Structure 1
Amino acid sequence: MKGFIKWTFFCAIVALFLVGSIDSQPTPTSIAVARRQEADNDVNEFHNVGSKTTSTKTSKSTSKPTGKPHSDGKGSGNTAPMVIAVGGAAWYAAVYGTESGISPQMASLGAILIVLGLFLAGMGFRLAKVMFAVMGLLTLGSMTWIALANLRPEAGYSRDSITMIVVPVGVGVVGAIAYYLLWTIAMYLSAAFGGFLFAVYICTWRSDLLIVHLIGRSCFLAGMALAFTIVVYFAHRPIMMFTTSFVGAYIFFFGIDCLARVGYIAGAEKLLNRNPLHLVDYELGKYVYVLLALTLFLFLVSFAWQFIFNAAVDFGIHVAAAVKGKDEEGGGGGD
């Protein structure tokens, strides 16, 4: 019965992914409606503007926009506010905080993420309570950043570069304490964060974020988080090994890009920051591909390492015999 339940949840995850992918493709009806709307707009513009159209188009052709129209992801032909194009000074300032060079805030953030990533990838499963504290810091810190980014005014906050880093870190510290003390609940919340971050990673393998439809994309992110939360109840050991290994690998290279500035973190920002005043573009250049591939490689190495290194440890709490025929040592047995 237990095996049947596990396979049922696995099939549900696969089905959710397929539904999200199907929803992302525009239907023939939506394409036809979009083309008809574009034709009607062209006719109206011709009749209303008249002779001024030529001069208007000429002036627009000589201008150099700093961004490009952003599709609303619904196949309707409508456009949202301009997106900051990749490679310009405005793009680097929006993603990394400065037009050139590394700011002290981003340098500190990168160093912290690299250290935390290495800890999770190497020792996260064994040092369970410390791992929960780190997960609390990352979960509440990242959720706070997402909220601040989506509510950010056009001119930014007061002392914007400090606010966007210090406030999430402060809230994250509170989360770290709560996760450390309430570790039985923190296990499910950590698994949910691992599923959410895994979905973010999958979406960033394409410049249009793999799932173009906004509703399908949101369902995919939430569905992966919920699926990991449920499955960890039935298989806490493999799911928590997966979570610590993947989250560690992802934030390690997230921290690397805070220093390298090649565009790796722009994918997550484009996906999670829907503020129309601060939309950034995302491009899969060769260096971004390298960091994505290295994230997957480090995750696999970490998972294999933790599986071997923790062969005698059941989630850092219950210790099993490392060698067959020996009695259990270290206090406590399995459930």
Structure 2
Amino acid sequence: MRPQLVPALVLLAGAVQAAGVRGAATADGGLVLGAHGALAASGIVAGVALIAIGLLMNYLGYRLVKALVFLAGFCVAGGLVLYAEYRIRAPREGEKARQLGYLATAAALGASAGSAALYLSRAGIALVGALGGFALASWALSMRTGATIHSDVGRAVFIMALVAGGVAAALMLQRPAIIGLSSAWGAYALFVGIDCFARTGFQYAALAFLSVPGASFAMSPGVYAMVAGMALSALLGAVVQLRLTAKHKSPSALL
């Protein structure tokens, strides 16, 4: 098993939890709780893994470009599969086998996509751009209860436009764009991980914007802090990465 796969699997596990599986999340979109109100170990692991991965991608994404590309392929493919599964038929309460089956399928296809991205470097770079664009779209939409754009069609167009813009920027500008987009993606993962403990509801933003059944998003002082914190972390991460990779002019030098 590739070393990058383990934390990426946890990302998918966190997505399952965030989708509201078996109603285990707290009412304010917080940390997963057990039957008697105890903190579930899986929720802790997902939060810690997202924080660790977010920090690495936020501040060292371009230096760790192989891990960055693998995780981009894994998360894009695995996330799309998981989203499609939940849109087609979300698991009902008590359907553990279906939940695990969805996760296993998404993880397997995500791992295949991540591995392929390492060998198809331009495709891998495009996926980094797509993920960064999605993170930026989610951040921009997270500034108002229910989303900055209320229309489902409008949100979809906005998200697709930023994803396409991220892909184009990553392929055409390469180093500066990859640094900026990996910083945005890393900062987003970082603050979703923090929200597993802070419980502001920020972690449910993207799911609500994608109209995942049962997901909702509302602004609060805590969410405003998350939105501001993500922006500051992304900017700081980009500056750090630019300084650390001043001698690397293209990703091919690291891939």
Q: Same fold by TM (over 0.5)?
A: yes
> What 5-or-longer segments of structure 1 have no aligned partner?
1-88, 320-335
Question: Does residue 92 in structure 1 map to residue 26 in structure 2?
Answer: yes
Question: Does residue 217 in structure 1 map to residue 123 in structure 2?
Answer: no
Matching residue within 106, 109, 113 for 2:46? 109
Secondary structure of the residue aligned to 2:236 is helix
Shift of 1:252: 1.0
Question: Where does residue 256 of structure 1 map in the other structure?
Answer: 194
> What 5-or-longer segments of structure 2 have no aligned partner?
1-22
Say if 1:130 and 1:267 are closer, same or farther in 2 by CA, change over 3 A: closer
Question: Where does residue 301 of structure 1 map in the other structure?
Answer: 236
Q: Which has the higher helix share?
A: 2
Q: Deviations over 1:288-311 (max 9, x none)?
A: 111111111110110000111111
Question: Where does residue 325 of structure 1 map in the other structure?
Answer: none
Shift of 1:266: 1.9
Structural RMSD (CA): 2.6
Say if 1:157 and 1:132 are closer, same or farther in 2 by CA, change over 3 A: farther
Matches within 5 A, 1:1-335: 92=26, 95=29, 97-98=32-33, 100-153=37-90, 155-156=92-93, 158-159=95-96, 162=100, 165-275=103-213, 279-318=214-253
Q: Deviations over 1:150-205 (max 9, x none)?
A: 22347257216645655433433222212222222111122122112211111111
Say if 1:289 and 1:94 are closer, same or farther in 2 by CA, change over 3 A: closer
User: CA–CA distance in 1 between the matches of 2:71 and 2:92?
Assistant: 32
Say if 1:240 and 1:307 are closer, same or farther in 2 by CA, change over 3 A: same
Q: Whose Rg is larger? A: 1
Q: Deviations over 1:212-236 (max 9, x none)?
A: 1111111111111112222333211
User: CA–CA distance in 2 between the matches of 1:167 and 1:304?
Assistant: 37
Q: What TM-score do the two structures reach when normalised by structure 1?
A: 0.61
How many residue pairs align between the two structures? 228
Contact 1:270 1:281 in 2 (8 A): yes
User: CA–CA distance in 1 between the matches of 2:165 and 2:94?
Assistant: 36
- Letter of the 1:121 partner, please give it: N
Q: Deviations over 1:70-123 (max 9, x none)?
A: xxxxxxxxxxxxxxxxxxx88627955547443222222222212211111122
User: CA–CA distance in 2 between the matches of 1:239 and 1:156?
Assistant: 43
Q: Using CA pairs below 8 Å that are at least 6 residues apart, which structure has the higher relative contact order? A: 2
User: CA–CA distance in 2 between the matches of 1:199 and 1:264?
Assistant: 14
Secondary structure of the residue aligned to 2:147 is coil
Secondary structure of the residue aligned to 1:239 is helix
User: CA–CA distance in 2 between the matches of 1:200 and 1:109?
Assistant: 20
Shift of 1:274: 3.7
User: CA–CA distance in 2 between the matches of 1:164 and 1:284?
Assistant: 30
Say if 1:121 and 1:155 are closer, same or farther in 2 by CA, change over 3 A: same
- Percent identity of paired positions between Structure 1 and Structure 2: 22
